[in-house]
DNA sequence: CGCGGCATTGACTCATTTCAAAGGTGGTGG
DNA sequence: CCACCACCTTTGAAATGAGTCAATGCCGCG
């Protein structure tokens, strides 16, 4: 259950290619990367365990969860290809990270080794700072979304955020996660997420192809915030 | 209005002492620090401006604000002595930081110079990573608070967080900020903050001395979350 | 084919927002 | 020294958005 079952050492052939071909931060650490192909829901790192690795999502997606005292799950970060995680000032992780879709690929780097390399390579040290700053920017953006008032605004911002971060063209976004995940990410109930999507759809702001594909029809309506929701 | 009016260069005497005597991260950068004593509400850095400095609060407190499209203000980070800010992956700040109480002291470090120093000093580079990770941990904690359901829980967590971060002993916390600031930090209305505090007071969980001093009477009640709020 | 997780919809309740007003507090200037 | 003013804080009453409970529909997978 815990830990990574199908680890592939960095020299192991087929996953090397993933790194070679795919652009991602920490290019210069490809030699150190331990690649893992994860199953749906597989734990990548666990709350309370020693924080001895840094990670980077190569493909797929991962959710960074905390279980609250009352049993509710909160997703504090959503990790897409190119996003790094596992940074903490403490000596253990404050969250659990799980792969979302089947086949999510994650690169793991032994923190100690990277830090030793960084000690000798200022350019690498700068890159690490940069990806840590990206993580900061991500959390700040998420705080802004959680700070929004209505659920409609939250869901709207969420769709826009996903569209941006997935670099989707054609105004179509493939959500990698379930409504439950979205709910725990936006700190609202599943039903509310569902209703918000239905609402946006009926108002002609988005279109749904299946449940996971969202086409953005009226970007401005999403951006401007939906305060005066029932207008129009 | 914008910018820092009373900058004191690092060699300027009386504020040197503040750095010499006060423990704070980036000790090794004392030489570079430009100290500033700020007025209430004074802007330290501004959303949209080039992100060419990193900062550290020495005394007092600062709020990291974003103005939303609808005019609402959101405080995404609350900065207390020892907290660093100004880190971003972009080339301009995504937020505005303002001093909260009169006389707040902030150290500013020219980013380019620090990075050059870090290139030559791996230990400094590690320290910078560490304080960036602390900023990450802070934002994660804040996301958890915003993810809480009831306002009572949010206010309760907030008080506990302040008590911890201010290292208050004797279960007494001096809030450095107004109810409005707390409201924008917790993403609830001022009235709700006020009501929550009144409620906690009447239930004997906290005591108020004046409006800004909170004494924690029943820590467990605050910690356990107030889900079943009107119980007891 | 049927099961289990995911998704949608409805009805009801209640916490929070909103609007409104009154009571404090500190600082400034007369 | 006092009075005034701006801002902060508290409280009340009303409206509404979101949570909860409950049921049904959907789909993919074994």
pLDDT digits (tens, 9 = 90+) for A151-163: 999 999 999 999 9
Quick check: helix, strand or coil at residue A139?
A: helix
Q: What is the DSSP string of B117-168?
A: HHHH-HHHHHHHHHHHHHHHHHHHHHHHHHT-SSHHHHHHHHHHHHHHHTT-
Do A47 and A67 contact (CB within 8 A), yes or no? yes
In angstroms and rounded to an integer, the radius of gyration of the C-alpha atoms of chain A is 19
| Average pLDDT of the segment spanning A160-183 | 92
Q: How many CB pairs under 8 A join A and B?
A: 128
Q: Give the number of other Cβ atoms within 10 Å of residue B107's Cβ.
A: 26
Could you list the pLDDT tens digit for every one of the 232 residues in chain B? Answer: 444 444 554 444 455 556 666 667 777 788 889 999 999 999 999 999 999 999 999 999 999 999 988 889 999 999 999 999 999 999 999 999 999 999 999 999 999 999 999 999 999 999 999 999 999 999 999 999 999 999 999 999 999 999 999 987 778 999 999 999 999 999 999 999 999 999 999 999 999 999 999 999 999 888 776 444 333 3
CA distances from A158 to A152, B85, B97 (A): 10, 26, 25
Q: How far apart are CA A204 and CA A84, in angstroms?
A: 35
Contact B93, B45 (CB under 8 A): yes
Write down the pLDDT at residue A17: 59
Which tops the pLDDT comparison, A32 or A28? A32
Tell me, what DSSP letter sits at residue A28? G
**Using the 8-state DSSP alphabet, how is residue A175 labeled?**
-
For C9, nearest residue by CA–C1' is A195
Residue A109 to residues A84, A171, B149, Cα–Cα distance (Å): 11, 35, 36
Contact list in A for residue B128 (CB cut-off 8 A) is 129
What integer pLDDT is reported at residue A2 of this predicted model? 42
pLDDT of A231 strictly over 90? no
Q: What is the pLDDT of residue B1?
A: 42
Footprint of strand C on the protein (CB under 7 A): A 149, 178-180, 190-191, 193-195, 197-198, 208, 211-212; B 149-152, 187-189, 191-192, 195, 210-211, 229-230
Per-residue pLDDT, averaged over A136-159, amounts to 96
The encoded tokens of residue A32 equal 């150190």
Work out whether strand B84-85 and strand B104-110 pair parallel, antiparallel, or are unpaired: unpaired
B116 touches chain A (CB under 8 A): no
Q: What is the pLDDT of residue B21?
A: 61
- For chain A positions 179-198, those within 8 Å of chain B (CB to CB) are 187
Count of C-beta atoms within a 10 Å radius of residue B40: 12
């Amino acid at each position: 259950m815990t830990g990574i079952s199908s680890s592939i050492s960095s020299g192991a052939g087929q996953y090397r290619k993933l790194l070679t071909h795919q652009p991602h931060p920490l290019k210069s650490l490809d030699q150190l990367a331990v690649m893992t192909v994860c199953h749906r829901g597989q734990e990548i790192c666990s709350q309370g365990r020693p924080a001895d690795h840094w990670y980077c999502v190569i493909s797929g997606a991962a959710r960074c969860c905390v279980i609250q005292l009352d049993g509710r799950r909160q997703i504090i970060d959503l990790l897409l290809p190119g996003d790094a995680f596992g940074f903490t000032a403490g000596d253990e992780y404050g969250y659990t990270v799980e792969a979302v879709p089947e086949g999510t690929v994650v690169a793991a780097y032994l923190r100690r080794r990277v830090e030793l390399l960084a000690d000798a390579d200022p350019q690498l040290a700068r890159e690490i700072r940069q990806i840590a700053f990206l993580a900061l920017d991500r959390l700040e953006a998420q705080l802004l979304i959680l700070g929004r008032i209505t659920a409609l605004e939250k869901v709207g911002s969420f769709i826009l955020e996903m569209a941006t971060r997935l670099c989707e063209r054609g105004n179509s976004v493939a959500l990698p996660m379930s409504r439950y995940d979205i709910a725990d990410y936006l700190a609202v109930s599943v039903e509310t997420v569902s209703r918000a999507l239905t609402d946006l759809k009926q108002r002609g702001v988005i279109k749904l192809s299946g449940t996971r594909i969202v086409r953005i029809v009226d970007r401005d309506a999403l951006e401007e915030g939906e305060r005066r929701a029932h207008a129009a």
